[in-house]
Amino acid sequence: MSSASSVRPVSEQPAAAPTGIACDIFCAVIDNFGDIGVCWRLARQLASEHGWQVRVFVDDLHAFQKLCPSLALDRARQAVGGIVVEHWHEPAHAGDTLEVADVVIEAFGCELPPIYVAAMARRERAPVWFNLEYLSGEDWVADFHLRPSPHPRYPLTKTFFFPGLGPGTGGVLKERSLDAARAAFEASQPEREAWWLKTTGRAPPPLTATVVSLFAYENPAIDSLLEQWRDSAEPVVLLVPEGRISGAVARFFGLPAFAAGSHAERGSLSVHALAFIEQPGYDTLLWASDVNFVRGEDSFVRAQWAAKPFVWHIYPQADDAHLPKLDAALAHYARTLPADARDALARFWHAWNGTGRPDWAEFQRHRPALKQRAAEWAVELAQVGDLAGNLALFAKSQLK
């Protein structure tokens, strides 16, 4: 954000006073940036808002550095913004000095180093051990959230912590300052103009244009959508962070590549390629757009807090196992939409996830209703509670 803003970016909020609670987060980067994206966001929030002393074990520093450019790739242990980062070299590795924290978070079933689990069992007071699961909007999540799982050999209990979109779940990550930061950006025309100039090298587009951010996995539906945007009756400005969809955009314009800083136009479509964006900057991109195409888990959550219409590219799984998760999220998000708008949104999401052809004109017709619902949904989702706050509250209840 520009210095003109009266609200600090989410990443620059003053840290809370240390509480003495030490927390270790273990993260194996399976694919893309979602796993470390969620873990890094959680780590920063536990440190800044709850005063915890946080250490993150991560096995892929290259993926991590994309989200956190200040990270050094050649260091086994380093501090970044008050958080200790350990390069997790191999499954058996638990740091050069074995230290067991008060709270241990095993992210997404990555499995803790056996030597660390054994040390947990030897600790005078067993740590609070969480298995942080992937986000799902499915109904069964509330039944399994906070369910204990005793270890087969040690006197330890692992608690399953399920993020979710409905009551009785762990909720999703949201910093306390996020709404104020978004409101400040949206209220400040000078700040928005400065953002456009810095990000694209150009002034903001006219109000008649629809601004779309596009963050997606490779997607065969993109060609049809680019053609529809090109032929649209109203201008479409597309903002594309450099990534897995960039090749398809380049081919559409007959270019060898579409690297950061590139710009192309055809018909009603104008496209800007952006550099890969670190987490705080990604929120601003969502706020600056009218419609957000997001993927995976972390950007999916951020789009909901941006309170703008969005389209989710869920991580594809074998045998279409991801489609029930897509429908479960739709059931929450689209619950109060008029039937025609709800059906149009479902058709578009399904087309973007491999079933059918996306119909941009139909989506646009329902955008006023989708915009209103997006704002209402952000308020509803906040009632479930913030994931970091929910996790911290439960952990403290177990540490008493």
Inter-residue contact 169 to 163 (CB < 8 Å): yes
Whether the pLDDT of residue 1 is over 70: the answer is no
Q: Are residues 90 and 237 in the same domain?
A: no
Q: Are residues 320 and 377 in the same domain?
A: yes
Split at pLDDT 50, 70, 90, the class of 4 is: very low
Residue type, 273: A
Q: Which domain holds residue 153?
A: 17-173+384-399
CA distance 139 to 147: 15
Inter-residue contact 126 to 100 (CB < 8 Å): no
Catalytic residue set: 35, 297
Q: Are residues 91 and 229 in the same domain?
A: no
Q: Are residues 234 and 151 in the same domain?
A: no
Whether the pLDDT of residue 18 is over 90: the answer is no
Q: Residue 172: beta bridge partners?
A: 386
Whether 184 is in a domain gets the answer: no
Whether 230 is in a domain gets the answer: yes
CATH assignment at residue 125: 3.40.50
pLDDT given at position 258: 94
Inter-residue contact 121 to 150 (CB < 8 Å): no
Split at pLDDT 50, 70, 90, the class of 131 is: very high
Mean pLDDT for the chain overall = 92
Q: Are residues 256 and 344 in the same domain?
A: yes
Q: Is 165 exposed, middle or buried (0-12, 13-18, 19+ CB in 10 A)?
A: buried
Q: Are residues 125 and 157 in the same domain?
A: yes
Split at pLDDT 50, 70, 90, the class of 73 is: very high
Whether the pLDDT of residue 393 is over 60: the answer is yes
**Shortest CA distance to 295 belongs to which of 321, 277, 316, 318?**
316
Evaluate if pTM is beyond 0.85: yes
Q: Are residues 114 and 214 in the same domain?
A: no
218-275: per-residue pLDDT in tens?
999 999 999 999 999 999 999 999 989 999 999 999 999 999 999 999 999 999 999 9
197-231: per-residue pLDDT in tens?
999 999 999 999 999 999 999 999 999 999 999 99
Indicate the number of domains in the chain. Answer: 2
